[in-house]
Structure 1
Amino acid sequence: MTSFPLALLLALPVHAGVAEREPPMAELWLFVIGIAALSWVMACRRWWLPLAVWLPTALFVASLIADFADPVIGPAVREELGLAYVLQADLAGALLLVVPLMLANIRFSRKD
């Protein structure tokens, strides 16, 4: 049983296989649609219920954006998946943050 020397492990590129760790674009857009539908249903019950969805969604988006801002992972993602992936992920993240707040605001400000 042989093992790799530590020097060889340290020489391997850090960003090998970054694409496997990032969510696929179709999955992100389905998540946007799901959060929008869930927020709409929750806003129909109580105006403040979409705010309960907002916090976990914001944490997910923050972790996604943190990967893009990392000095090692960010360039590897742009190289491996392309700039279009980063832009679409940013747009999906922005929609994930805005839609629950928008629906809560619409329901709160509506005069029944």
Structure 2
Amino acid sequence: MKAGRHFPVFLSAAATALLLAMPAHAGMAEREPPSAVLWLFVIGIAALSWVMACRRWWLPMAVWLPAALFIASLVADFADPVIGPAVREELGLTYIFQADLAGALMLVVPLMFANIQFSRKD
């Protein structure tokens, strides 16, 4: 068995552990993931996408769907008429900007790696 075969399983287990470590109670802002966790997700998705793209060019698409659903739920919270202003008041606009930037990277990076590997196959 190859040594790198369990790497994606390790990354998904680490991401799940980070999600479970977040508090699920208290104020509006505590429901949102900290910006450090968002950037760890970006790094994890980038690493996982790169490893998967080295295997098959289309495999990063499997990472894209859960990332898109996560980002959609995050943006939906910001657009909510009750939760959005509370998050902006508690965490500030810099958090909103960082979350949007991290979300955009989470959506673009898997597609970028798939495109790079697909263009090399031609």
TM-score (norm 2): 0.77
Is 1:107 the counterpart of 2:120? The answer is no
| Aligned twin of 2:34 | 24
Q: What's the RMSD between the two structures over aligned residues?
A: 1.1
Q: Distance in 1 between matches of 2:88 and 2:121?
A: 47
Q: Distance in 2 between matches of 1:87 and 1:111?
A: 36
Q: Structure 1 stretches of 5 or more lacking a match?
A: 1-15
Tell me the percent identity: 87
Structure label with greater radius of gyration: 1
Select the structure with the greater relative contact order (CA < 8 A; seq sep ≥ 6).
1
Instruction: State the 1:47 CA deviation.
Output: 0.1
Larger helix proportion of the pair: 2
Instruction: State the 1:20 CA deviation.
Output: 1.1
TM-score (norm 1): 0.84
Is 1:42 the counterpart of 2:74? The answer is no
Moved over 6 A (4+): none
Q: Structure 2 stretches of 5 or more lacking a match?
A: 1-25
Q: How many aligned positions are there?
A: 97
Matches for 1:1-112 after TM superposition, within 5 Å: 17-111=27-121
